[in-house]
């Protein structure tokens, strides 16, 4: 097995993913962050469609409803770009401010009382008011993170939350990636680097 230099494809193994069976969270100290569930990523006509993303909608929708009902904060991040954005050096044009692709999918429409954070980069903390609300206003300790793309905006936001010592919780059925490797490596990083907790399903989380 080669552990240095370029990975040898034949030696790649699925990483160990410690699962937490169920978790009970204090709604007054918990925020659910729904990352980038926008038409450009979730709708088949979107410019950066993630084919696995639509299948996460039922789990995310159910979790959002339960979080709202419990009194937990619900935050939606919205990837937001303008025409001169440097991200288009990396990706095709997507999530242009005001476009249909930029809008959060109808099924998860933010409701009064939810909070929407527009962000220009993968990390929802970078250059946004997210930390201000979570820490200073709401006194949040735990963030549940769902959405897409798992190894990009979900992972970078989870990392940024972990670095700030928020407790990070990720339901595996609420995140989606383009490959199984990306999905697995995301969950691996969240548990191993940030002491995050992964549950198999959003339904394994209780607000109580
Ligand atoms: Zn973007």
Summarised one tens digit per residue, pLDDT across range 108-140 is 999 999 999 999 999 999 999 999 999 999 999
Nearest to 148 by CA among 197, 98, 94: 94
Other beta carbons within 10 angstroms of residue 165's beta carbon come to 11
Q: Residues for the chain: how many in total?
A: 208
Instruction: Say what the pLDDT of residue 1 is.
Output: 57
Distance 13 CA to ligand 1 centre (A): 30
Q: Is residue 27 part of a domain?
A: yes
Q: Is residue 7 part of a domain?
A: no
Structural domain containing residue 203: 20-207
Dihedral, 134, 135, 139, 145 alpha carbons, nearest 10: 40
Dihedral, 55, 59, 64, 67 alpha carbons, nearest 10: -160
Distance 190 CA to ligand 1 centre (A): 21
pTM of the model: 0.97
Q: How many domains in the chain?
A: 1
Q: Is residue 116 part of a domain?
A: yes
Q: Is residue 8 part of a domain?
A: no
Tokens of 137: 């206003």
Residue ranges for the chain with pLDDT beneath 70: 1-2
Q: Mark out the alpha helices in the chain (DSSP H runs).
A: 39-42, 57-70, 130-131, 155-163, 180-194
Which CATH number do you get for residue 25? 3.40.50.850
Instruction: Say what the pLDDT of residue 182 is.
Output: 95
Q: Is residue 9 part of a domain?
A: no
Q: Is residue 1 part of a domain?
A: no
Cα–Cα distance measured from residue 106 to residue 89, given in angstroms and rounded to the nearest whole number:
29
Nearest to 187 by CA among 173, 202, 172: 172
Q: Is residue 184 part of a domain?
A: yes
Distance 116 CA to ligand 1 centre (A): 16
Q: Is residue 60 part of a domain?
A: yes
Residue whose structure tokens are 């991040």: 77
Distance 193 CA to ligand 1 centre (A): 24
Distance 91 CA to ligand 1 centre (A): 8
Task: Give the containing element (helix H, strand E) for 167.
Answer: strand 167-171
């Amino acid at each position: 097995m080669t552990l240095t230099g370029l990975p040898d494809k034949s030696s790649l193994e699925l990483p160990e993913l410690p699962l937490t069976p169920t978790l009970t969270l204090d709604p007054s100290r918990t925020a659910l962050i729904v990352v980038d569930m926008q038409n450009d990523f979730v709708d088949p006509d979107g410019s950066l469609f993630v084919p696995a993303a639509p299948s996460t909608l039922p789990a995310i929708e159910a979790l959002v409803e339960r979080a709202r009902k419990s009194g937990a904060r619900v935050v939606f991040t919205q990837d937001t770009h303008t025409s001169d954005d440097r991200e288009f050096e990396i990706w095709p044009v997507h999530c242009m401010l005001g476009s249909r692709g930029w809008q959060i999918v109808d099924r998860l429409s933010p409701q009064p009382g939810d909070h929407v954070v527009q962000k220009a980069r993968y990390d929802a903390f970078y250059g946004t008011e997210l930390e201000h609300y979570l820490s200073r206003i709401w006194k949040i300790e735990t963030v549940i993170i769902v959405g897409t793309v798992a190894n990009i905006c979900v992972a970078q936001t989870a990392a940024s939350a972990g670095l700030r010592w928020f407790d990070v919780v990720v339901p595996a059925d609420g995140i989606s990636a383009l490959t199984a490797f990306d999905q697995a490596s995301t969950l691996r990083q969240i548990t191993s680097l940030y002491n995050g907790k992964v549950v198999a399903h959003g339904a394994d989380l209780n607000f109580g």
